[in-house]
Amino acid sequence: MGVFDKMAEHGHEQVVFCFDRQTGMRAIIAIHDTALGPARGGTRYKAYASEEEALEDALRLSRGMTYKFAFTDMARGGGKAVLLKENGTADKRVLLRSFGRFVELLAGRFGTGPDLGTSAQEMVDIAYETDFVWAIDQRFGGTGDSTPLTAQGVFTGIGAALDEVYGSADVAGRRVAVQGLGGVGGRLAELLVAAGAVVIGADLDPGRAKELALRLDIAVEDPDALYEVPCDVFSPNAVGGVINEHTIPRLRCRIVAGGANNQLGDDADGRRLLERGILYAPDYVINSAAPYAVIGAGELGYSPERLAVSVQGVAEALQLIFRRARAEGLPTAEVADRIAEERVAAAAHLRAMAPGTGAMRRA
């Protein structure tokens, strides 16, 4: 399938391929939909098996960002960038600065922040070349790490899912299997333990898992064996695609709710979870506090109080999805997609009809 066919399949407006001859920097910026506003999304730094795999990741992630923003009150659309990790001695800081120049060329149509493989500190390097970057290290005047607010949103979302399944949002005494104990997963584990939950963690980094286990007094399981741990909630907070046709039959939980992006391997997995009686909290909804931390605080200047209110919005959005899914007998992932698409379509219509757009605005 060609690039334009892939764009049509996912509904994308624009894909920008970036290459710098001097540094060897290779990146892909995918802009999915700007009906809600200019595209925003993180920059992922990762080694891909092929350029096709990198493109597919950028397309899927940017589409998820559109849907994520559809469940917020921020006038922003979906975008994502993948910066291809280079073998050898390539200086990451040089690659980031080179990438920042391409972001600047888009003149605000796309703006970015941290993602897998990048951090608030590294956003400083991009910021040398463009103003369209957020979640910059606080030591350089930015808003800093977005993971605390994201983890709080996921924690609140878990409560909403527990309420749907058990009739109470209280996590005390509930068993939660946390996959990935890094930024979001580690902070989520802290919140769960503080609230009285029984946490079983797993991470591909044994040292990190051991450190958190000692600090929080939680059990640690082998990453692969975690799928079969009896629990109330299985919480993916690492890489995507982990909830799939191979792992779903192994799950021994009632709820899947975590902060990772693109948790489902494909669209059919939402139906597979429903058939097993497992409630799924759609990833781009439960982790939607992240844009508030990045875009709300950095670009829109939201106050700490305003950001705190956004966390409660995660629970309200999930409750809407759960009610509609229950009433229609549909997978929650499918219902969330429909709601997001309805909101994007409504925004596109309003934009087309609103005065002061297009040529009138440019004049």
Q: Residues with catalytic annotation?
A: 80
338 token code pair: 């429909």
Amino acid at 148: P
Residues 64, 284: contact at Cβ < 8 Å?
A: yes
| Main-chain phi, psi angles of 139, to 5 degrees | -65, -15
Annotate 164-184 with three-state secondary structure. Answer: HHHCCCCCCCCEEEEECCCHH
Smallest Cα–Cα separation from 340: which of 24, 14, 33?
A: 33
What CA–CA distance (Å, rounded) separates 128 from 192? 38
Residue 162 CB-density burial (10 A; 0-12 exposed, 13-18 middle, 19+ buried): buried
223 token code pair: 């990453």
Q: Listing from the earlier edge strand, what are the strands of the sheet with 175-179?
A: 219-220, 198-202, 175-179, 233-236, 255-256, 279-280
